[in-house]
Amino acid sequence: MIKPASLSLLKQTLPDVPKAALVEICLKLARYKKENKELLSYLLFDAENEAAYIRLVKDEISLQFADINRSQLYFVRKSIRKILRMTLKHIRYSGKAATEVELLLFFLSELSVSGIDFRSVNSLFNMYRNQLQKAKKILATMHEDLQFDFSEEVSRLSGMIR
């Protein structure tokens, strides 16, 4: 099996590659995997305006919550996991702690107001609790002004699991 080059070797080699070749490499990466194309789109078009990017992701989360098939619990769980995966993917693209906390709290807020009784389903309850703990952990490492901005939402969402 062919092993890919290490990240440090790639970092050393990339500055020596001509600009035209870098463009071709980026286009080739985007052509082969949807996530690469999405990440490249984020870096080129959305990274400069993080607030607009967060708004777009929030709109997508809201749309997906509205489209959940509620006919069976299986479909509800599957849909919520899909929404969480999408949310985490967009968080990964950004890589910013404030974006991560804001999107996680929005996801949890949408879940809590969706009318889905997630507290009675162990897998959904555990998912909710774990994501809330993750948001709290990241929030603890952030500047105190940002902590204050999110603290009311965190306490409201924490009250949902009691």
Q: 46-83 pLDDT, tens per residue?
A: 889 999 999 999 999 999 999 999 889 999 999 999 99
Give the structural domain span for 24: 17-48
Q: Which of the four pLDDT bands, split at 50, 70 and 90, describes residue 162? A: low
Predicted confidence (pLDDT) per residue in 14-26, tens digit: 899 999 998 998 8
How high is the pLDDT of residue 160? 75
**Residue type (1 letter), 66:** A
The pLDDT of 140-145, averaged and rounded, is: 85
Confidence category of residue 4, pLDDT binned at 50, 70, 90: confident
Same domain flag for 87 and 29: no
What are the tens digits of pLDDT across the range 146-161? 788 888 888 888 887 7
The answer to whether 111 touches 80, Cβ cutoff 8 Å, is yes
Query: Any residues with CB less than 8 A from the CB of 159 and at least 6 apart, and which?
Result: none
Each residue's pLDDT tens digit, 103-136: 999 999 999 999 888 888 899 999 999 999 999 9
For residues 37 and 2, give the distance between their C-alpha atoms in angstroms, rounded to a whole number: 24
| Judgement on whether residues 22 and 68 belong to the same structural domain of the protein | no
Could you tell me if 65 and 26 lie in one domain?
no
Can you tell me the distance from the alpha carbon of 101 to that of 107, in angstroms, rounded to the nearest whole number? 10
Whether 77 and 43 map to the same domain: the answer is no
**What is the C-alpha separation between 133 and 125, in angstroms, rounded?**
12
Pair 154, 102: CB distance under 8 Å: no
Instruction: Compute CA 146 distance to the chain's CA centroid, rounded to the nearest angstrom.
Output: 19
Report the 10 Å Cβ neighbour count for 25.
Answer: 12
The domain total for the chain is 2
